[in-house]
Every structure is written in C-alpha cells, then in structure tokens.
Amino acid sequence: MTGPEAPMSRPKLLLFALLPTLLLFGALEIALRIAGFQYSETPLEVRRFTDDPHGVVDRELAWQNRDGVERFKKDAHQLWVPKTSPLERHDIEAATGVFRVATLGDSCTAYCVGTRDSFPTLAERFLNAESDRTVEVLNAGVASYSSFQGLQRLKHAVLPYHPDLITVFFGWNDHWIAGTPDSEIELRSEWETQLVNALDHLRIYQAGRRLLARARAASSRTATGPAARPVPRVDLESYDSNLREIVSVAREADIQVLFITAPQDLHDWDNPDLQPLSTRQLVALHSRYNAIVRAVAKETGMELLDLEAIFERQKPRRLIAKDGIHFNPAGCRLTASAVAAKIAEHYLDN
C-alpha cells in the first residue's frame, strides 16, 4: 500500500497553469508568421534595390545586408534607425589630415537603384582620385527619413564623428502625407524604446499594437467626427525651420553645410498612398520644397548644389529610376561627380 502523493511544488503548479496560455500564444505566433502578418507604426524594413538583379546594397553595407533588405529598429530620438549603419564602420575620430564629410539624407542618399554604390561612396572615390588631401565620406542617409529626422540624426548620431562638412539632401519624405506630422509623434524614453525593440520581432505583439491603433483611431473619430484631412510629414514652414536649425547646430559644432536640391522625374507618378496629388500638383509642391532649400542656403550663407537644375539640363529620364525619385547608375555617378566637384572647389582648397 502506497502513501499519498506529495503535493506539486509551486513552480510546477505555476507552469501547468501557464502551459495552455503559452501554447495558445505559440500557436498564434506561428499562424501570424505563416500568414505573413506584419505591423509597425514605423518602417520595419525596406528593399533597397528593386531593379538590381543582385539585390545587394552599397559596398559598405553589402556584407551585412546580403538579401538587399535594410532593417530598422525604433529609436528614442530619430523614430527609427537602421539596425546596421555605415556610420558604425568608421572610427569616431578621423585620422590626422583627413577631411571628413557626413551626408545627411533619405534613401536617395543611402543608395542608388541598380548599382552597389551610393553617391557618397562614389563621391569619396572621385575626391580621393583628384585631390591631394584624403577625404572620408560617411553615409548618414536613411531610407524614409524626413528633415525632422535628419536634424535629430545630426544631433544624436553624426556630431560624435566630428565631420568637417555635412551635406543636407531632403525633401521627398517631408511632403508625403501622414496621419500625424513627424514633430508631433510622441517619443518614447530610452528604456521604453529598448523594450519595444525587444518585443517588436513578435508577430503577436505587432497584432496587439495594430488592434490598439485601430481602437484609438475609432475613438478619435467618435470624439471629433470625420477623420481629419491627411497632413504632410513635414509642412513647408517646418521644413524651413528644420533646415535652419541644422545650420545652427552645425555652426555650433564648427561644421560647414552644403545644401542639395532634389531632382525629380514624375511624369508617370501614380502612388496615392504617399501623395494623392496629380503629377502637375506634386511637381509644383516639390518645387516649393526645393525653393526653400535655395532660400535657406542663401540666407544662411551656406553653399548650394542645385542638383535639380543640373538634372534638368541633362534630361532626368535618363538619370532617375522608374519611381521618378531615386537615382539610377547614371544619375548616381552624375550626382557623385557634382558633389565631389563642389566639395573640391569650395572646401578642400580653402
């Protein structure tokens, strides 16, 4: 005759109690992954070269992003940042005698379509081939970035590298529509951001975020009536302000600034999710953002590379990819050549 079984320990009881819940969550996670579900308030990834059969990013990133996809994580200041950045491959301090350039911008700076190069990597190559002085170009461009994010990137990521010069090349993402302007997005603290990044790879967490976002949107519509009209991520006035603050921050750190206007070839534009305007209206709007770049450069005494004007003289259809925005290999080389020539003329000889 055996005696009564010993009672389960508390840890075992807790495990048995939680097991059904863990199995349910695991099954939901697997189901969401099989279904291909993804959601995030900020970009999770971007395929950099839709026209590139090799699917590889520029030479500085090729070793980290062999599938041609750049992946992001959330950031307490910049909203999102690349998980692997070309900046991280450089020493904080430049070698003695090196002229260091950092290129602030969006995907037009980060990469070019159909080539493994970006205009910053090509510009560095051109400059070092022609100049007696060693030039180092740090690619600080990030896909989908606005001037608001560029300002934060300058403050929190670029300044520690002590560049002698920054190039500033924004405009596209600033006038894309959004539910909330970039400057009004509530920023998380550092620890909250780290926690979200730890959870963000879980599809079940993403699904919960989506349900919460929908609930908030429904509550907002109930409280305020019909949904508000979409707004640009950065309106014209804020764009002007961001560019001027970039100059102010750069001057404080004894960094020179080179502004660049953004060329376009929007004759086949058809992407209402980004901007529902007609081609004619979008071209006019984009021109207004470029006009602000020219005005800020002139009024702050900073150099300007009017790349839009250069492309117009060269027939942009031969230089810009099918999306009407990004540089193809020919446009990438022309941009790099123009940037290198401007740097050589106005900064290296001084």
Per-residue pLDDT tens over the stretch 109-131: 999 998 889 999 999 999 999 88
Alpha carbon distance 337, 345 (integer Å): 12
Per-residue pLDDT band at 152 (split at 50, 70, 90): very high
Q: Are 135 and 99 in contact (CB under 8 A)?
A: yes
Over range 103-110, report the average pLDDT.
96
Secondary structure class of 148 (helix, strand, coil): helix
Residue 294 phi, psi (nearest 5): -60, -45
Q: What is the pLDDT of residue 236?
A: 97
DSSP state of 84: S
- Quick one: pLDDT at residue 227? 52
Identify the residue with better confidence: 42 or 280. Answer: 280
Statement: residue 63 has pLDDT above 80:
no
Residues facing 165 on adjacent strands = 101, 256
Angle (nearest 5°) at CA 147 between 299 and 290: 50
Residue 195: what pLDDT? 86
CA-to-CA distance for 347 and 345, rounded, in angstroms?
A: 6
Residue whose entry in the numeric block shows the structure tokens 């026209």? 51
Residue 228: per-residue pLDDT:
56
DSSP one-letter string for 202-257: -HHHHHHHHHHHHHHHHHHHHHHSSPPPPEESS-HHHHHHHHHHHHHHHHHTT-EE
Specify the pLDDT at position 86.
78
Sign of the Cα pseudo-torsion (45, 311, 271, 105, in order):
positive
Burial of 314 (0-12, 13-18, 19+ CB in 10 A): middle
More confident residue, 207 or 136: 136
Of 161, 104, 99, nearest in space to 135 by CA: 99
Least confident range of 136-140, 322-326, 329-333:
322-326
Q: Which tens digit of pLDDT belongs to each residue from 171-216?
A: 899 999 988 899 988 878 888 888 887 888 888 888 887 887 777 6
Q: What is the pLDDT of residue 271?
A: 80
Of the pLDDT bands very low, low, confident and very high (cuts 50, 70, 90), residue 55 is very low
At residue 54, the pLDDT reads 34
- The reported pLDDT for the residue numbered 71 is 85
Strands 231-232 and 135-141: unpaired
Polymer length in residues for the chain: 350
**Which tokens is 262 given?**
């953004």
Residue 137 φ/ψ, nearest 5 degrees: -110, 120
User: Percent of the chain scored above 90 by pLDDT?
Assistant: 49
- Domains (ranges, CATH) in the chain? 92-180+235-348 (3.40.50.1110)
Q: Structure pTM?
A: 0.84
Distance of CA 168 to the CA centre of its chain: 13
For 269-318, give the DSSP string.
---TTT--S-HHHHHHHHHHHHHHHHHHHHHHT-EEE-HHHHHHHT-GGG
Please report which confidence band the pLDDT of residue 40 belongs to, taking 50, 70 and 90 as the band edges.
confident
Within 10 Å of residue 172's Cβ, how many Cβ atoms? Answer: 23
The angle at the Cα of 249, spanning 244 to 175, to the nearest 5 degrees, equals 40
Query: For the residues 67-88, what does the mean pLDDT come to?
Result: 83
pLDDT-derived band at 222, boundaries 50, 70, 90: low
Q: Quick one: CA dihedral 290, 292, 293, 295, positive or negative? A: positive
Q: Which pLDDT does position 8 carry in this prediction?
A: 56
pLDDT band at 226 (very low <50, low <70, confident <90, very high): low
Q: What is the pLDDT of residue 24?
A: 76
pLDDT averaged over the chain?
Answer: 84
- Tell me: pLDDT of 44 over 90: no
Q: Which whole number is the average pLDDT over 58-87?
A: 70
Measured CA to CA, the distance from residue 54 to residue 68 in angstroms comes to 8
Query: In this predicted structure, which of 72-86, 218-232, 336-350 has the lowest mean pLDDT?
Result: 218-232
| Residue 135: predicted pLDDT | 96
